[in-house]
Structure 1
Amino acid sequence: MEAPTTDPNGAAGPLNVLVWHVHGPWMTSFVQGKHRYLVPYDGHDGAPGSEWARGRCDRPWPNAIDIAPADLADANIDVVVLQRPKELDLVSHWLGRSPGADLPAVYVEHETPREHAALTKHPLAERTDIPLVHVTSFNRLMWDNGRCPNTVIPHGVLDPGYLYTGELPRAATIINEPVPRWRITGTDLLAPLSEAAPIDVYGTGTEGVHTALQVPPERVCGAGDFVQGRLHGELARHRVFVHTPRWTSLGLSVIEAMYLGMPIVALGTTEASASIPADAGIVSTEPDILAEAIRQFIHEPGFAELTGKAARHWAQANFGIDEFLSRWDRILADSVETHRALPTR
């Protein structure tokens, strides 16, 4: 394999990057880079792929192409970006090369530990040949990373523009599969919070959420899953954005809401308190305080607008796409160069 090209500053030129479509919003940002992104796809003629080879799912991702697993062995891949433990085995099976040993690899951890945070070892904890990238500092702190080299690359988001109107005296939130995930995503909190204002819940599997909560749909309405462009417009019509997860990584949805210019009311867990400043909204672990904040934003649209503008400025300064891509360029280039420097086996 030829070495990747470099510019005078030492940055690697475009690479062929094997990466799975796991988290659509994160992937949307990741593939904005300068590389060529190969996305496993085992469907046919536009049919959906499997969990382990979804492909692009018709998303307008620049520089990303679907590739059949059977074609990967002959593909010129410079580095693989892993996101789930099983992908380690898939690389070995599909490419006949071991990630870390035969092929440069980076592992992205999107989630918090599923079990005890103080005691859970990361699947890569005993490996030193594959760097581990956490998407939040909270995730990095909660996982036992062991000997694995690790860092944090915070989320970067494409700016959808300032779209906020706040014309609807309602709250909005995004929760995928809110009923099965229930307490993890704070779905149970929607019922008491909806006493302050009606809440529209966007995302997959939201249609029956009011039934599970035992409240009328006028209070909690499952709005369904929208394409991103339409979703942004719908969210921005709402007076306030509510973020309720108890134990998930920081959702890109709350960052997107800040970019739109929405004031934020968020449960003060995981990375939320470090990612949402006081002038961007209210962060608390007390549901009564969150409900009062929703009520205040609903009844004071001018205050909601000013708070949302502060949230947008914060998001632009802290979750920009350029810094996100620059940091990824560096770690991909470092992984390739480090692997090239290893003794020939």
Structure 2
Amino acid sequence: MRILLWHVHGSWTTAFVQGPHTYVVPVTPDRGPDGLGRARTFDWPDSVVEMPPERLRDADIDVVVLQRPHELALVDAWLGRRPPMIWLEHNAPHGDVPDTRHPAADVPGVTLVHVTHFNRLMWDAGRTPTTVVEHGIVDPGPRWTGELPRAAVVVNEPVRRGRTTGTDLLPAFADAAPLDVFGMGTEGVAAHAGLPADRCRAHELTQRDLHAELAHRRVYVHPVRWTSLGLSLLEAMHLAMPVVALATTEVTEAVPPGAGVVSNRIDVLTDAVREFVADPLYARSVGEGARAAALARYGLPRFLDDWERLLKEVAR
């Protein structure tokens, strides 16, 4: 099967392209948002092939995976036809959430796929056929060592996104343990949060380096108020890190008892950070529980099997 999709979400796509198909990603001379081509910082197999838009009409595409509203117009312009289409929604809705209508609502010929059951519940999809394929992770291995008595946080653009990413909560967590904040656009996060540099350090790393650095930290903290389900949280669990997270969106499903501490009480969360930092053996035990839970629910084989069934159903 030849599947057309855009390089939008590198971590999710890295798992998706581990399947048995040919994955066609558009590439444009400027490698702009609609033509990034193959990933530069993720390891993708040779089955992911770049193709300029002018060649797509003759590419015999079997299924299209849409991820952004304007891609439907690109399909019409670049392919001149509409193959079977899956609209993959990565995000939870924003705005007036109980009444937020999805762009794929009532669009004919589209199957809408959410990555969490929370997202499916919150989006209004109208009459569009809708299902859920939960995340899968390429296993980085149980790499946690935890020798650094610090807490790791992974968020993108914490200064711009503010309360959404829980940036305002960082001082409370930094009081419990010094923080290392990883992600794009993290420069200046300490000053923005009013923290001295020794309590909050910013790091921008490639995916290859990120896992190794996370694994050195004692505990993973997920302060995000509103997101779909952070893949970095699932990756930390795969690394065998103990996790401390807000009980928002899908987190309560992803982190079962014994895999970490989940609460909407900041005092409970900060006390948990202190306990993990003070007791490496306890941190190791809970981290092992986190890895077992993540492998069971978000392992790559289950993810690929679910997608294989859906792709065959949509393509027939």
TM bracket (short chain): over 0.9
The 1-side partners of 2:54 and 2:181 are apart by 40
Q: For residue 146 of structure 2, what is the amino acid of its counterpart?
A: G
Deviation at 1:329, TM superposition (A): 1.0
Instruction: Quote the residue 2:10 is aligned against.
Output: 24
Residue number among 70, 78, 100 corresponding to 1:94 in the alignment: 78
1:310 aligns with 2:263: no
Instruction: Quote the residue 2:233 is aligned against.
Output: 254
The 1-side partners of 2:196 and 2:27 are apart by 41
Q: For residue 271 of structure 1, what is the amino acid of its counterpart?
A: E
Residue number among 37, 52, 57 corresponding to 2:34 in the alignment: 52
The 1-side partners of 2:128 and 2:181 are apart by 38
Deviation at 1:57, TM superposition (A): 3.0
1:264 aligns with 2:246: no
The 2-side partners of 1:208 and 1:333 are apart by 47
The 2-side partners of 1:144 and 1:57 are apart by 32
The 2-side partners of 1:53 and 1:181 are apart by 26
Instruction: Quote the residue 1:222 is aligned against.
Output: 202
Counterpart contact for 1:166–1:238, Cα < 8 Å? yes
C-alpha RMSD of matched pairs (Å) = 1.1
1:188-199 aligned at under 5 Å gives the runs: 188-199=168-179
Instruction: Quote the residue 1:299 is aligned against.
Output: 278
The 1-side partners of 2:103 and 2:206 are apart by 33
The 2-side partners of 1:128 and 1:268 are apart by 36
The 1-side partners of 2:107 and 2:77 are apart by 20
The 2-side partners of 1:66 and 1:136 are apart by 29
SS of residue matched to 2:149: strand
1:322 aligns with 2:304: no
Counterpart contact for 2:166–2:223, Cα < 8 Å? yes
The 1-side partners of 2:55 and 2:178 are apart by 50
The 2-side partners of 1:108 and 1:207 are apart by 31
1:171 aligns with 2:155: no
Residues 260-307 of structure 1 show CA distances to partners (whole Å, capped at 9, x for unaligned) of: 010000011000011101201100111121111101100111100000
Deviation at 1:128, TM superposition (A): 4.3
1:38 aligns with 2:24: yes
The alignment covers a number of residue pairs equal to 314
Q: Structure 1 unaligned runs (5+)?
A: 1-14, 338-345
Q: For residue 201 of structure 1, what is the amino acid of its counterpart?
A: V
User: Alignment identity in percent?
Assistant: 50
Deviation at 1:85, TM superposition (A): 0.7
Instruction: Quote the residue 1:158 is aligned against.
Output: 138
Deviation at 1:87, TM superposition (A): 0.5
Q: For residue 85 of structure 2, what is the amino acid of its counterpart?
A: A
Instruction: Quote the residue 1:8 is aligned against.
Output: none
The 1-side partners of 2:39 and 2:315 are apart by 29
Q: Structure 2 unaligned runs (5+)?
A: none
1:136 aligns with 2:116: yes
Instruction: Quote the residue 2:267 is aligned against.
Output: 288
Deviation at 1:127, TM superposition (A): 2.5
Residues 49-76 of structure 1 show CA distances to partners (whole Å, capped at 9, x for unaligned) of: 1112111133431110111112112211
Counterpart contact for 1:128–1:149, Cα < 8 Å? no
Instruction: Name whichever of 298-307 and 207-216 sits farther off.
Output: 207-216
Q: For residue 267 of structure 1, what is the amino acid of its counterpart?
A: L
The 1-side partners of 2:65 and 2:238 are apart by 27
1:70 aligns with 2:29: no
The 2-side partners of 1:259 and 1:155 are apart by 13
The 2-side partners of 1:202 and 1:245 are apart by 13
Choose 1 or 2 for highest CA Rg: 1
